[in-house]
Amino acid sequence: MRRWIVAGCAVAIALTPALAAGQSKKRAMSKIERLACRLGTEDRHARIGVELVDGKVSRFAYYSKSKPRTCSISIERDGPYSQWKDVGRFTQVATDNGLFLIEHRQRDVSFLFHDVDRHFYCGMEPGIITGTLTVIRGKAECLLQDVMRAHDTDGLEPGPAIAGP
């Protein structure tokens, strides 16, 4: 019995580098692109970082700040807390706390936040985040529509929602 355990461990150890090499080759063949943008001032802004693998979003991290409040959302494809579905140039990301629709275009990647639970992701009073954020390739500034309005409904001083041109 002991010989079988030792033999099994030896085989597993011998196969580990081969399996890792196969995964490394697969990653090396994939085209990885990273995009990021920010819009607003130091005290009131929104930003997003996006990683695309072979032209499809594999992860994204959104962060917004409306002093003194912050919001942080980080979601990864094949992660335990989201379901991803690709249909043509669109990707739907469903979580227990909201829906994200991603549109992949040659010039940009656009995110639609739909009924995203502000309390869960931001630790703020109950409410939702709804709106769009677009990352344009080669630009440091985002286009943003209505996403920051969630900050305007939390009892803070009213301020204009950040909006792109």
pLDDT tens by residue, 143-165: 988 776 655 544 333 344 444 43
Task: Give a yes or no: residue 160 inside a domain.
Answer: no
Residues 90, 13 share a domain:
no
Q: Which helix (H) or strand (E) covers residue 5, if one does?
A: helix 2-29
High-pLDDT (> 70) share of the chain, %: 72
- Give the chain's radius of gyration (CA, Å): 20
What's the burial of 124, exposed, middle or buried (CB within 10 Å: 0-12/13-18/19+)?
A: buried
The whole domain housing 19 covers 1-30
Residues 39, 24 share a domain:
no
Six token digits for residue 15: 């196969």
Residues 67, 9 share a domain:
no
pLDDT tens by residue, 69-82: 788 889 999 999 89
Q: pTM (2 decimals)?
A: 0.71
Residues 136, 113 share a domain:
yes
Using DSSP's 3-state secondary structure scheme, residue 19 falls into helix
Cβ–Cβ < 8 Å for 113, 129:
yes
Residues 73, 19 share a domain:
no
pLDDT tens by residue, 113-126: 888 887 787 776 77
Residues 118, 39 share a domain:
yes
Task: Give a yes or no: residue 165 inside a domain.
Answer: no
